Amino acid sequence: MAAWTVLEHDVASGGAEAYWETTAISQSHAHLLIVVFGRISSAGAGRYPYLQMGDGSLDTGSNYGATTMYARTAASGTNGIQTGLESGTKIPLYYMTDDNEEDDVFGCTEIWIPNYANTSYEKSVLAQSSAPDELAGDYEWCAGMFAGLWKSTNNVERVRITPSAGSFMQYSTYTLYGIGAA
């Protein structure tokens, strides 16, 4: 059985955070898992968090690809698959609960980065998220699954998660796990 080790656990306290970042990630595990329970201070379009990675420094170039499959409540019935991100500067992670919701409602995003320390091939990212909403109508709930790619053979030593607008609100939590080989 694979061992799970908490490498880092942070809570946004005392106000909003523009992003969450961890650096100098230990290279002694087989895989990484990041779990975010969060709220974003911006409503609507600002509910998208994004992922970037790097070795010693953060890769902000056009070296990311992604495909998204999502579902949500909407009067228009818009659900489906979003494709076409072949050379983005970050991986979109779909919706997260925003400041329009009641204070105790947070969304959850889980991000798997398998074989993160290997330097022989590019890095895959698998993520899923759910964003509950206490309001009826459009966006009463949102759920998504994502496949992403960091087009680099470098090992992952650094990870940053940033909202597209606004910031992570107080009490958002971020936990980084190292998963040992089975």
Domain chopping of the chain, boundaries? 4-179
Could you say which of 1.10.3470, 1.20.1070, 2.60.120, 3.10.450 is the CATH number of the domain covering 4-179? 2.60.120
Which pLDDT does position 135 carry in this prediction? 62
Residue pointed to by tokens 């201070």: 41
Percent of the residues in the chain that have a pLDDT greater than 90, as a whole number:
49
Q: Which two tokens stand for residue 54?
A: 């790097």
Angle at 5 between CA 40 and CA 63, to 5 degrees: 55
Q: What is the pLDDT of residue 58?
A: 96
pTM comes to 0.89
Model confidence pLDDT, tens digit, residues 5-38: 999 999 988 777 889 999 999 999 999 999 999 9
Q: Which two tokens stand for residue 117?
A: 């320390």
Question: Mean pLDDT across the stretch 60-67?
Answer: 93
Mean pLDDT of the chain: 85
pLDDT in tens, 101-137: 777 888 899 999 999 999 999 999 999 988 876 666 6
Quick count: other Cβ atoms within 10 Å of Cβ 39?
A: 27
Q: What is the pLDDT of residue 17?
A: 87
Give yes or no for residue 81 having a pLDDT over 60.
no
Q: Does the structure show a pLDDT above 60 at 45?
A: no
Residue predicted with more confidence, 164 or 31: 31
Q: Rounded mean pLDDT of 59-81?
A: 77
Strands 91-92 and 107-114: unpaired
The reported pLDDT for the residue numbered 182 is 56
Of residues 139 and 155, more confidence is placed in: 155
